[in-house]
A and B are shown apart, each in its own frame.
Chain A
Amino acid sequence: MGAAFGDTLAKAQAGDEAAFASIFREVQPSLLRYLRMITPDPEDVAGDTWVQVVAGLEGFRGEEQAFRAWLFTIARHRAVDAGRSRTRRPAVPLEMSEVAEQLTSPDTADLALEAVSSRAAVALIATLPREQAEIIMLRVVAGLDNADVARIVRKTPGAVRVAAHRGLRRLADQAERTGVTR
């Protein structure tokens, strides 16, 4: 949300529903996509997360980055509380072949960023080992840096960076093996 975030947050904290709705629409997609990596019930956990965010909203102090770190920390706790922290992988809606097909279709050959649907891309990330997938989502989707992610997943920033690199290398390898790199 950029520079406007502070104003929007202040309005939401003062009870402005439209401001809160704006924050929700900004954050919810990334929240759901992150939760898909760590729980089979992302919608339910996201709902629990917002309930807690709403309850603590008035007392929150900080900038957008801190807000995101706070919110995703809550989300992770709620996912753990749900008792379903991914012991089994969440259902991957798309097969890798489908992702690969999308990545190699004539329409996407020009590397247009919007050519790959979010759904296919999230499904692709979900094929990674859970820890790598979670860290990549927190880095890229939540927009957090290594230090913030380290606090959320309770690892060192160095370990976070290594895990993210491993995940990306694995993705690149998959892309290579499925012949989508051209």
Chain B
Amino acid sequence: MSGPDAMHGEMPGYFPGRPGGGEHDEPLLDMILDRRPLPPGAPPEMHVLVRTLAAVAGPADPRELAGEAAALAAFRRSVSRVGPSHAAQRPARRWLSWRPARVRLPLAAALVATAAGLGSIVAAYVGVLPGPIQEVAHVTVGAPSASRDNSSRAHTPTSPPRSSPHPSDLSGYRPASSPGLTPAPSQANQQQPHRGVSPSPGHAVPTCTPGPVPTRHPVKPGPTQYPTPGQSNWTPRPSPTGGCPVIVPQTP
């Protein structure tokens, strides 16, 4: 076979190979594009097209799969980051990390409030609160009176308290030791490496300075996720107690 003349001599009436050669070849071309079998009598160049396109869509050459390792690596990274969609794995991951605005902040705020409240009680018991507030504590929770030995404490703010109960006896004062309320460190850090901010001891709990408790028992930076001023809408109320929110426990 040497040229178009011979071909058209064999297949009169078909001119599908000629650009702009008419519209009558469109059904055949659509069949080829749809990978449908050609009808009997289709011209040879149509079969060439079928062969060519079949080859274009042919089996993979091993070299074409060279990128598989990289794609699988990307897949593994994605799965480990987001987590597979197995329902069983979702709740644990979502519990704190996925819902910072709706779950984590309120919870953290509750922890802070609790800790601050306990801290206030501790501070009241060791008698380091300013006079009027100490007096309120004296009335409400039975803390020492504001007038008791107040002058000596004011001059030795970092000295260990001599009154009891000792702060370490008050469980729950140190929020970092509140089990069951904080996400596991690995989870929190893995999911939100930049949001699990470990607050400095001064910010972890609104400290009631001057006072011996934060100094002797500094709150260790830990996974507990407290909102810090500037990072959230939570702001410690300024108070005359040296940064300690005034929380008056309710008496029954």
In the complex, which of the residues B54, B66, B75, B85 contacts A54, with contact meaning CB atoms closer than 8 Å? B75
Digitize A96-114: 1 where CB-to-B-CB distance is under 8 Å, 0 elsewhere.
Answer: 0000000100001001011
Assess whether A55 is interfacial by the CB under 8 Å rule.
Answer: yes
> Are A168 and B75 CB-contacts (below 8 A) given A14-B85, A29-B61, A176-B45?
no
Question: In the complex, are the beta carbons of A169 and B25 less than 8 A apart?
Answer: yes
Question: In the complex, are the beta carbons of B60 and A28 less than 8 A apart?
Answer: yes
Assess whether A46 is interfacial by the CB under 8 Å rule.
Answer: yes
A-B contact count (CB 8 A): 175
* B74: chain A residues within 8 A (beta carbon): 50-51, 54
Question: In the complex, are the beta carbons of B67 and A181 less than 8 A apart?
Answer: no
Rounded to whole Å, the gap between the CB of B44 and the closest CB of chain A is: 4
Rounded to whole Å, the gap between the CB of A138 and the closest CB of chain B is: 10
Assess whether A170 is interfacial by the CB under 8 Å rule.
Answer: yes
Q: Chain B binding site: helix, strand, loop or mixed by DSSP?
A: helix
Question: In the complex, are the beta carbons of B17 and A120 less than 8 A apart?
Answer: no
> Are A113 and B51 CB-contacts (below 8 A) given A33-B56, A43-B66?
yes
Interface size on A, residues (CB 8 A): 61
Question: In the complex, are the beta carbons of B86 and A179 less than 8 A apart?
Answer: no
Assess whether B46 is interfacial by the CB under 8 Å rule.
Answer: yes
Question: In the complex, are the beta carbons of A179 and B16 less than 8 A apart?
Answer: no
Question: In the complex, are the beta carbons of B51 and A111 less than 8 A apart?
Answer: yes
Question: In the complex, are the beta carbons of A164 and B86 less than 8 A apart?
Answer: no
Question: In the complex, are the beta carbons of B68 and A28 less than 8 A apart?
Answer: yes
Q: Who on chain A is nearest to B47 by CB?
A: A111
Interface size on B, residues (CB 8 A): 56
Question: In the complex, are the beta carbons of A119 and B68 less than 8 A apart?
Answer: no
CA distance A118 to B66 in the complex (A): 16
> Are A164 and B58 CB-contacts (below 8 A) given A14-B85, A50-B74?
no
* A29: chain B residues within 8 A (beta carbon): 59-61, 64-65
* New A-B pairs, 12, CB < 8 Å, besides A24-B68, A54-B78, A136-B33: A29-B61, A47-B70, A50-B74, A113-B54, A114-B59, A115-B51, A118-B57, A121-B52, A169-B19, A169-B21, A172-B49, A176-B4
Residues of A within 8 A of B (CB): 12-15, 17, 20-21, 24-25, 28-30, 32-33, 43, 46-47, 50-51, 54-55, 57-58, 103, 108, 111, 113-122, 124-125, 136-137, 139-141, 143, 161, 164-166, 168-173, 175-177, 179-182
Question: Can you give 10 contacting A-B residue pairs, CB < 8 Å?
Answer: A29-B64, A47-B70, A57-B75, A103-B51, A114-B55, A165-B29, A169-B17, A169-B25, A171-B48, A176-B3
